[in-house]
């Protein structure tokens, strides 16, 4: 473990603390209640999850495409359609997760939902770039009818004849997991490891002929938001680490993947959610108070020097408030004028 990097167990404890804090603030806001929060997450997720698969659109192009329906830049049509499809699927995921539709019933997750997520994500791009080996019954939302060779890291998908049974079993396991979390049979610190196992198992099954990575990350986020947690975003820059973590999870060690998921949920909570739902006097993690005017590193340094009213919690997280940051910035501006 690199010097100064918190242990994996510390990350899991911070995950649990972040979720508890979110619940104290009243939980995850619905998309209709806080469109700005969800739009920022939407842009980042659609950009990074498709970029991991080779999409060339930059974040600004993704935002314009999703918000305005305009294709800026001079990219392949396929790239635009991939992002549009992913964006549509992510929007559906966010809405259904917080306000489940009729497909879910009293359950936590259904096979129908898994297939529909894939259908939304892949239908647009499939019209111009279908998988070259796809048969008439292997389009978006349909399980594959081809066997897939083992991947470079050793992950071996099952024969296509076993896919339906295995994805039904995977969904049943996920459904039990969701109910166990809601009934608190699983403690919060253990949730990231269970999420990592579920995500790895889905990717190992590889239920569709194409688009399994995108569908798997969307379904992971459906699980997360249905639990009341922010979505996880795997950034393009972390692609190699993410794939290596999947391979390690496939070989029985889900720790690296669990840590990646936990860190992403914590970061998204602190970056997007907490600053928008916490009152100005509430103590929140210092990272969530950083903005264009002052960086997290500057705030942390000010807290250490006693120039910012802040507290260091037992897990090593600095906490302060919007009021305290405003007071610190006002004092800093006065010092700069005097000098």
Residue 248 marked in a binding site: no
Domain extents in the chain: 8-277, 284-338
pLDDT at 98: 62
pLDDT of residue 1: 56
Look up the pTM and report it. Answer: 0.85
Residue 184 is assigned to a ligand binding site: no
Q: How far apart are CA 204 and CA 289, in angstroms?
A: 39
Does 241 show up as a binding residue in the annotation? no
Determine the Cα–Cα distance for residues 238 and 200; give it in Å rounded to an integer: 16
217 is in an annotated binding site: yes
**Distance separating the N- and C-terminal Cα atoms of the chain:** 42
Q: How far apart are CA 225 and CA 97, in angstroms?
A: 5
Catalytic residue among 179, 206, 270, 323: 206
Q: What is the CA radius of gyration of the chain?
A: 21
- Given a contact cutoff of 8 angstroms between Cβ atoms, the answer to whether 224 and 178 are in contact is no
Is residue 206 part of the annotated active site? The answer reads yes
211 in a labelled binding site: yes
73 annotated to bind ligand: no
How high is the pLDDT of residue 36? Answer: 78
212 is in an annotated binding site: yes
Query: What architecture (CATH level 2) is domain 8-277?
Result: Orthogonal Bundle (1.10)
pLDDT per position in the chain (339 positions), as tens? Answer: 555 788 999 999 999 999 998 988 888 887 766 787 889 999 999 999 999 999 999 999 999 999 999 999 889 999 999 999 999 999 999 987 666 666 556 679 999 999 999 999 999 999 999 999 999 999 999 999 999 999 988 899 999 999 999 999 999 999 999 999 999 999 999 999 999 999 999 999 999 999 999 999 999 999 999 999 999 999 999 999 999 999 999 999 999 999 999 999 999 998 888 877 776 767 888 888 888 788 999 999 999 999 999 998 877 888 888 888 888 888 887 777 776
């Amino acid at each position: 473990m690199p010097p100064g990097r918190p242990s994996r167990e510390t990350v899991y404890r911070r995950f649990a603390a972040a979720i508890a804090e979110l619940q104290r603030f009243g939980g995850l806001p619905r998309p209709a209640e806080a469109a700005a929060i969800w739009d920022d997450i939407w842009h980042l997720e659609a950009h990074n999850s498709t970029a991991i698969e080779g999409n060339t659109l930059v974040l600004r192009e993704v935002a314009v495409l999703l918000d305005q329906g305009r294709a800026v830049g001079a990219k392949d049509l396929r790239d635009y359609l991939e992002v549009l499809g992913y964006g549509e699927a992510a929007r559906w995921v966010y809405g259904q997760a917080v306000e489940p539709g009729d497909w879910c019933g009293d359950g936590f997750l259904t096979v129908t939902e898994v297939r529909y997520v894939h259908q939304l994500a892949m239908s647009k791009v499939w019209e111009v770039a279908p998988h070259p080996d796809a048969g008439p019954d292997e389009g978006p939302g349909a399980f594959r009818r081809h066997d897939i060779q083992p991947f470079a890291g050793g992950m071996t998908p099952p024969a296509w004849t076993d896919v339906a049974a295995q994805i039904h079993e995977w969904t049943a396991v996920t459904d039990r997991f969701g109910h166990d979390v809601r009934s608190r049979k699983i403690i919060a610190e253990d949730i990231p490891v269970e999420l990592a196992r579920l995500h790895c198992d889905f990717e190992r099954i590889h239920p569709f002929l194409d688009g399994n990575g995108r569908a798997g990350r969307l379904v992971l986020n459906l699980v997360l938001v249905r639990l009341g947690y922010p979505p996880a975003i795997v950034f393009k820059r972390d692609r190699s680490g993410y794939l290596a973590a999947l391979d390690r999870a496939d070989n029985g060690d889900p720790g690296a993947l669990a840590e990646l998921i936990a860190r992403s949920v914590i970061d998204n909570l602190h970056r997007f959610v907490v600053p928008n739902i916490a009152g100005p006097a509430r103590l929140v993690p210092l990272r969530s108070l950083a903005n264009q005017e002052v960086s997290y590193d500057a705030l942390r340094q000010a807290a250490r020097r006693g120039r910012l009213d802040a507290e260091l919690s037992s897990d090593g997280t600095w906490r302060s408030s919007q009021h305290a940051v405003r007071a610190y910035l006002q004092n800093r501006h006065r010092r700069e004028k005097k000098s």
